[in-house]
Structures are given as structure tokens and as C-alpha cells.
Structure 1
């Protein structure tokens, strides 16, 4: 994940380059370092450097890094002629490179030649079964074709090898949610929370899945994870505050006041509704009547 400081630096450089007052190469280098997608910007500014012989030759060996970066951006932008030229230049410079072979397979994928791309990726995996990028490209290709069962199968096989890849766990969870396979999604978020317990996004997503599953036990657990999200964000997560309220009323409907633990948790519900009111007063005071009506409907206010 990109930190706030890095995001600010990237935005500053991007603004400078877009207005002709910054170092395009510095910007492109930061995009690579942060592993973010800015395909339109990379294509525009990277191609400008490649087309300027003086600037390009001044990069030294980094010239080929730029060719690769522009090739990928060009495929994203469907400027396939430019991508083809970049890959051709790279292949001429590195005739035996498996990395260029990967770019060529991506080019086939960008052209919609799925069978040819699959064949090329499979051949590359035979030489290097641990190539993470190729495994992920095959997942992306299955998703692009709408074949989510294959994407799930490939992601599960990938995670058997690379269990610490949090992006892959998150992607698998999101696919499961899109297919309404909430129990499987819950397992993915459990893995993410175990590996990074201080990331509020994982707590929130897990709570959402538990709430969607429903049932007393899931509502109670969801409330705990909404509460942990609030704790991790310093009380600033509006969605989690709503989650506390929704779980509380759902639990109350199921227990009908018999559960002492949930009676004792009314203070948490009140704190959540109070925090929501403060947040709305700061950012959306015109919607305060709507919030009050919603809380009354949830029986969290008299």
C-alpha cells in the first residue's frame, strides 16, 4: 500500500510534469518504485523521452527499463503499435530474455488472443514455475474472460506457493464476495488479519462479510471487528460506526433482551451514534436530520 507521504509526493511530481515544470524521469521512476498504475501518464511522458534521442541516451542502461515501462502502459492504453515497437526494441537488445517473453505474452493478451497468450504463459512457467507475475497474469486473463471459477482455482494454487501475498488474498476475497461466496471470503479476510492485524481495511471488510452472513454469532463477531476498525482509525470510520449500530439492532432483534452481554454493550451503541452525529456536524450538517431519523428507526435514539 502507498503511504500518504508517498501519495503526496507522487501527486506533486505528476502535477509538475503535467505542467511542463518537472522531471519526467523522476516521476516515472517513482511510479515504478511505488508500483502504481498511471498508464496514461506513463505512456505520455515515457514516450516523450523515448522519442527524444538526447534524453533517451542520457538514461544509460535505464533506457531499457523505460522501454519496458512504456510497453506495459501502451498495452493498458490499447496503443498496441507503440507497445509492439517497444517490445521489438527490447527483443533486439535481449534476444534470449524470458522477461521479454513475458511482455510478448502480455501483448498477445492485450490483442485478445487468449489461447495464444495462455500457451505462451504456460511455456514460460515450465521454465520458471515460481514466476509470480505470470501466475497473476493468468488469473487476470481468466477474469477478463469472465471465467471466475478458473480465476479462483488459479489464485488458490498460487496461494499454496506464495501464502504471504496479501494482494492475492485480497483479490481472492473480492472475487468470492462478487460471487456471494461469503464464507470463503471470510476465510480470506481471516488470513489477511492474521498477517497484518493493524490494517483497518481488513477488519472492516471481514465485519461486512460477517454481517452479510447473518446469525447471532456472526453479528456479535462483526460488531467486534467494526469496533476494532473504529479503534484502529481513531474513531474516524463512518462505515464502521454504522456497522456497530446495525449489528446492535440485529442482535437485539434475535435475543429480545435476554442476552446480558448485549444489554451491557448499549454504551458502545450510544458512543457510535454520538460519534456519527459529531462526524455529520463537521462534514455534512445538512444531512443531520436524515441521520437522526435513521438512528431513531434503529431505535438507538428516543
Structure 2
């Protein structure tokens, strides 16, 4: 995950490059290092370097890395929904797609000529087929690459993306589960699987994914929060009690700054009280915890949205959560 410091540095460098202050190559290197998607900017500044023979030759072997980076950015930029547009804007975007498609092919051809037997270039060509919507050909290309190297994580993930692009979420789940049998420490894959399960309302399966993430990275508040949300959605006394604990741990890990977790505490407390009608002896700390959460939320509203404070107060009254 990108830290706030890294994001600030990247944004500062991006503004510098956009304003003609130089540093385009440094910016492109940082985008690669942080693995973020700034496709429009990458395409713009990458092309300026590739189209300048002096700048391009000064990169040495990194020239080919830039070809690959620009090609991937072009694929992103090509996926514009032009069908919904009309008039001159439609024509301009169609023209952009045509230019980008040719650019993609030029990048792929240049890399293929330089590295004729490269599996990495083969992967890029398969991605080009995917970007064109040639699903069947892309699947064949990815399968062929996996026959040569069954442990190519990027290709495995591209197959998942391919299944999702076709609306085949069940296929994406199967592919991710098979992938995680081998690469169990891939946190991004667990998150992706959890999000797909949630989109299909398969909350128990999503909860399992977040349990795996919490076990491997117990100090990441995002996982605690997501797990609590899933348990709250599932409902039931046991799930609500556990959800409240994970909302509490989210608050601890964020220094009390997570508004969503504060709301979660109050909502869980209200739901538990309504379901148990005061008979739940395991939840003795609820009144105190609820009061602290509500007070923190009221403080947040007073500081950041004082005009919404009355809405907040009346909303909590309707939930039978007292402040």
C-alpha cells in the first residue's frame, strides 16, 4: 500500500512535470515503484520521451521498460466508454482509440523485435488481445504462458481480470481460489476474492478471506474494519458481538480517527440491545463504549459538519441509541 508520504511525493513530482519543471523520467520510475495507476499521465509523459530520440537513447536498457509501461498505460486509456457519447466528442474519442491501438501495436512490435523469445513480451501481447476484447485468444495466450511457467503470478491475475471483464465472477472465484492454494501470502488476492464474494452476497466466504488477512497482517485497520462490516451484515448476536470487537480494534489502530468504526460501534450496540433485550451478560461494556463512540462522533460533526449535527442526533434517536 502507498503511504501518505509517498503519495505526497508523487503528487508533488506530477505537478512539477505537468508545469514543465522536468523530472518526467523520475516520475515514471516512481509510478512503477509504487505500482499505482496514473495511466493518462504515464501515456503523456512517456510518449514525450519515446518520441525524442536523444531522451530515449539516454535511458539505455530502461528504454524497453518504458515501452512496456507506455503500452500498459495505453491499454488503460483505450478502455473509454465511447458508445454512450455522441457528436464531435464521440468522433474525437474514437480517433483517440484508433491512435492508441496503433501505439499499442507499435510498442509490442518494438519489444518483440528486441526480445523475440521473451515471455514478458508474450504476456504483453496477451494483454493487448485482452484490451481488444479478443477474450478467447487472450485466454489461449495466457494458458500457453502458464504451461511454460506455472508460477507466473501476473498471468494468473490477468486470467482473473479476464474472467471478471466477461462478467464471469464464478470463474474469477475459482481462479483466485486455485491461485491462493499456491500463493497464500498474496494479500491483494485475498482482498480481491473478498470483494467478489461481497458483490455476490456471499458474506461467510468473504469473512473467511478477511480472517486470513487479519492473521497475516494484524495491524492493518482496513482489514479489521472490512471484517466487522461483513459480520454486522451477517447479523445475529455472536456476529454482532465479534463485529463490535473489530470495530473497537479499528478505532485503537487508527488512534480513534475512524468515523466508520465509531458508527459501527453504535449500530452494533443498538442491534445487540434490540436482539437480546438486555439479557446478554457478555456485553456489559456496551453502554460505556457506546457513549464514548457517540461523543466522539458528535465532536467530529461539530468540527467538520456542524450544519448536519441535528440530522445526526435525530438519526441516532431513531436507532434508539442515546448520546
Q: Is the 8 A contact 1:257 1:263 kept in 2?
A: no
Aligned residues: 302
Q: In the TM superposition, what is the alpha-carbon distance from 1:262 to its structure 2 partner?
A: 2.3
Separation of aligned partners in 2, 1:64 and 1:128: 22
Q: Is the 8 A contact 1:230 1:237 kept in 2?
A: yes
Residue 277 of structure 2 is aligned with which of 253, 256, 279?
256
Residue number in structure 1 paired with 2:84: none
2: CA distance, partners of 1:260 / 1:274: 24
Deviation (angstroms), 1:295: 1.9
Residue-by-residue CA offset, 1:227-247 (whole Å, 9 max, x unaligned) = 111111111111111100110
- Cα distance in 2 for partners of 1:5, 1:253 equals 44
Q: What is the match of residue 4 of structure 2?
A: 4
1:287 to 308, 319, 323: 308
Residue aligning to 2:138: 117
Task: Provide the TM-score with structure 2 as the length reference.
Answer: 0.92
Q: Partners of 2:124 and 2:322 in 1: how far apart?
A: 59
Quote the offset at 1:254 in angstroms.
1.1
Q: Distance in 2 between matches of 1:125 and 1:275?
A: 52
Q: 136, 141, 144: which one pairs with 2:157?
A: 136
**What is the CA distance between 1:297 and its match in structure 2?**
1.9
- Compare 129-138 and 69-78 and name the one that shifted more: 69-78
Which residue is equivalent to 1:163?
Answer: 184
Distance 1:80 1:198 in 2: 43
- Summarize deviations over 1:29-87 as a string: whole Å, max 9, x none: 00000011111110010011000011101111110110010011111111221111011
Say if 1:245 and 1:269, in contact at 8 Å, map to a contact too: yes
Take 1:77 and 1:58, find their aligned partners in 2: how far apart are those partners? Answer: 27
- Contact 1:245/1:300 (8 A) holds in 2: yes
| 1:65 partnered with 2:65 | yes
Instruction: Give the TM-score, by structure 1 length.
Output: 0.98
Asked if 1:220 is matched to 2:241, the reply is yes
Maintained 8 Å contact 1:203/1:229: yes
Gaps of 5+ in 1: none
d(CA) in 2 for partners of 1:118 and 1:77?
22
Aligned equivalent of 1:42: 42
* Match status 1:30 vs 2:30: yes
**Pairwise mapping of residues 145-164 of structure 1 onto structure 2 (< 5 A)?**
145-164=166-185
Q: Identify the residue that residue 52 of structure 2 maps to in structure 1.
A: 52
SS at match of 2:219: coil
In the alignment, the residues of structure 2 paired with residue 299 and residue 101 of structure 1 have an alpha-carbon distance, to the nearest angstrom, of: 60
Q: Could you tell me which residue of structure 2 aligns to residue 238 of structure 1?
A: 259
The one-character-per-residue Cα deviations of 1:201-256 (angstroms, maximum 9, x if unpaired) are 00000000000000000000000000111111111111111100110011001111
CA distance in 1, matches of 2:247, 2:51: 52
Structure 1 runs, 4 residues or longer, greater than 6 Å off: none
In the alignment, the residues of structure 2 paired with residue 22 and residue 198 of structure 1 have an alpha-carbon distance, to the nearest angstrom, of 38
Question: Offset at 1:265?
Answer: 2.1
Q: 2:320 maps to which residue?
A: 299
- Partners of 1:252 and 1:262 within 8 A in 2: no
Match of 1:83 in 2: 104
